[in-house]
Structures are given as C-alpha cells and as structure tokens.
Amino acid sequence: MSRIDDDIKKGTFSHTYLLYGTENYLKDNDCLKLRRALTNEGDTMNCTRFEGKDVSLKEILAQAETMPFFAERRLVEIHDSGLFKNAKESKDLQALIEFVKNPPETTVLVFCEEQTDARGKLYKAVQGSGTVIEYKSLKADTLSAWIAGWLGKRGRKITGSAVDELIRRTGTDMYLLSMEMNKLVDYTQGRDGIVKEDVEELCTARPEDQIFRMINAIAAKDRKRAMDLYAQLLMMNTEPVRILSLITREYNLLLQVKEMREQGFDRDAIAQKLKIRPYFMRDYLGNSSAYTVEGIKAILNQCADTEENIKTGMMKPRLAVELLIILSSGN
C-alpha cells in the first residue's frame, strides 16, 4: 500500500504534499486519488489547479488562504511549476515557504513536479511539515507484476513471454503500457489469455526496439534475422542514416558495458552509471559477452567508415547500412 493509499484509508492527510519523479503514471494516479478523497467531484469552488512555470505565487497563496466554501477542506494543486528546481528567490516565494511551514487546517497543497532540488528552501519546508514522495520507474519484476495485475483486474491473464514482448515494444513508460494494454484487452474479447503473438500482432515496435533486436541478431551471427529486421525498419520509413546512428549508439553502449564488466562493476552499478533500464541489462550483458573489446571497436570503426561513405557520396545510404549489417553479422 502506498503512502497516499494509507492516508486515504486512515482519513488523515498532510497539509502539503510534494509528489515528484519521472514516473508520471503513478504520480498522476496518486494526485487523482487525493483529489477524489479531499473534494467532491466537480467541486470547482474548493479545488483549484495551477500549471506551468509561469504560475502566479500570489494567486496560489490567495487560493490557499481562502476558507473552503461549504466543505471541510480546500485543495490547491500546483503542477510542473519548477518551484523546486532553480526557482528564483523572491518575496512571493518566501511567503509561500512560510505558508507551507504553517498552513491552515482547512487547506491541502499538492505539488506535482518532475525535478526537485533537496537543498532548496521550499523542498525543505515541505519535507519538514508535509509529505514528500518520489516516483521512480518500476524495476523489472515490479513492472511485470503491475502489468499482470492491471490486466487481471480486466479479466485477462498474460504469459511471461507476452509481458517481455510488450515491454520490449513499448518501453517502461506506464502510460504507454496502459494504452497498449487497453488495446490488447479489446483485441482479445471472448478469451481470457494474452500471448506473445497477440502483442506482436497489435503493438507497434519502435525503431529503437527493432535496432535492439537487430543487435541481438548480429551478436548471434544471425545474418538473415538481422537483415529481416533491417527490412522492417525501412518499411517503417526509418531513414538508413537514423538506423546507422542507432546502431552506433548501441555499440558504444555495448563497449562501455563490456569495459565496466571487465573492470569488476556489477550489473546494477553498470545500469546506474550508463542509465540503462535494469530490465534490459540481461541483453546488454549477453550481447557484450559475445564480443571482445577489440571486436566491438572494430564494428564501431565499420560504423564510422559507413558514415563517411554516405557523407562523401561513395555509397547510397540504404546499401551502405546493408553492407555494414552483412559485415558485422558474418562468421
């Protein structure tokens, strides 16, 4: 149970909440839960929302200091204001900080931000008198469990391979995942199971996902598979130059993974340092083990040569990238 769920269950609320982080799905859901718990639906008299970096602090304070109208509480939401990250010092900001330190019993302030600075005065004021919650991307096991639970509530079971395929195609953004899962629920009307083939049929793969699969095929020396994926990327109207850029990026990452692994760094440390989603570390580690450091550098040199051949007009982009894939996936 989350802190917000716990507060709602007990009926005891902080007067100030700071909900921040990059996982907007969870953050927005908790904000919505608070709104439903603290105000009646459609009550615009006692629920005010401010949004954006141009918010007026005077207006926020005016709303927050106003007594609720025939209600127990007044809710003031402030979204994406930037007040917790490099906010300029001002009298109005200082007034808001003092207000947060000692808010009236009838007001609840909810800040929803992506980035914060824990050293800031406003952050410290909320931390001292209210509740601060960070929303990070879910780890692989937790995300898989969330997908299964989300679908279970809608009468669907999903296989492990289908979960893996869904994440590979959609990524780990929970908003995007929920949109794709809604499509899968509609698509599988009349049966209770979702399998990998359903995901492959319905969910569009991103170019980045196809590149990832192509690298897997190249590392496995599966030239036919790599070429099939290249053809699919071209059918998705992905420019060969962009494909080359993505291949280069992936091999640069593989090189760093390989070098850090040989230096004794563990899986989690590598993921954190290189900002790789932990869910995808298995493939990065597996692919890096298929090469020596020199082997990866050789492919990066081939990428550089391919780029040069395209820029100088020596080869057409489509043919140049095709030759790169053939050479790098050879035995």
**CATH number for the domain including 14?**
3.40.50.300
User: Which domain does 170 fall in, by range?
Assistant: 140-202
| Dist CA 214 CA 326 (whole Å) | 12
Which of these, 325, 283, 320, 286, lies nearest to 305 by C-alpha position? 320
Shared domain for 106 and 229, answered yes or no, is: no
The radius of gyration of the chain from alpha carbons, rounded to an integer in Å, stands at 25
Shared domain for 12 and 75, answered yes or no, is: yes
Q: What is the pLDDT of residue 282?
A: 82
Shared domain for 159 and 107, answered yes or no, is: no
Q: What is the pLDDT of residue 308?
A: 94
The stretches of 66-119 forming alpha helices (DSSP H) are 91-101
Q: What is the pLDDT of residue 323?
A: 94
Angle between helices 240-262 and 207-219 (to 10 degrees): 60
* Boundary-marking domain end, from 115, 135, 155: 135
With vertex at residue 315, the alpha carbon angle to CA 309 and CA 320, rounded to the nearest 5 degrees, is 80
Shared domain for 80 and 13, answered yes or no, is: yes
* Boundary-marking domain end, from 135, 167, 187: 135
Mean pLDDT of each 10-residue bin along the chain, 331 residues long? 88 94 92 92 87 91 91 93 85 93 92 92 94 89 93 94 88 88 92 91 78 87 90 86 92 94 90 81 87 93 95 94 90 60
| Dist CA 127 CA 129 (whole Å) | 6
Shared domain for 254 and 162, answered yes or no, is: no
Tokens of 159: 């296989």
How many domains is the chain built from? Answer: 3
Shared domain for 167 and 221, answered yes or no, is: no
Shared domain for 264 and 221, answered yes or no, is: yes
Contact criterion met (CB below 8 Å) for 198 and 187: yes
Shared domain for 213 and 323, answered yes or no, is: yes
Q: What is the pLDDT of residue 134?
A: 95
DSSP letters of 1-42?
--HHHHHHHHT---SEEEEEES-HHHHHHHHHHHHHHHS-TT
* Boundary-marking domain end, from 202, 220, 243: 202
Contact criterion met (CB below 8 Å) for 169 and 276: no
Shared domain for 154 and 107, answered yes or no, is: no
Shared domain for 66 and 82, answered yes or no, is: yes
* Residue with token string 């679908």: 151
Contact criterion met (CB below 8 Å) for 147 and 166: yes
* Residue with token string 């599966």: 222
Shared domain for 234 and 280, answered yes or no, is: yes
Q: What is the pLDDT of residue 173?
A: 84
Tokens of 281: 């570390």
CATH code of the domain covering residue 245: 1.20.272.10
Name 194's bridge partners: 158
Shared domain for 69 and 172, answered yes or no, is: no
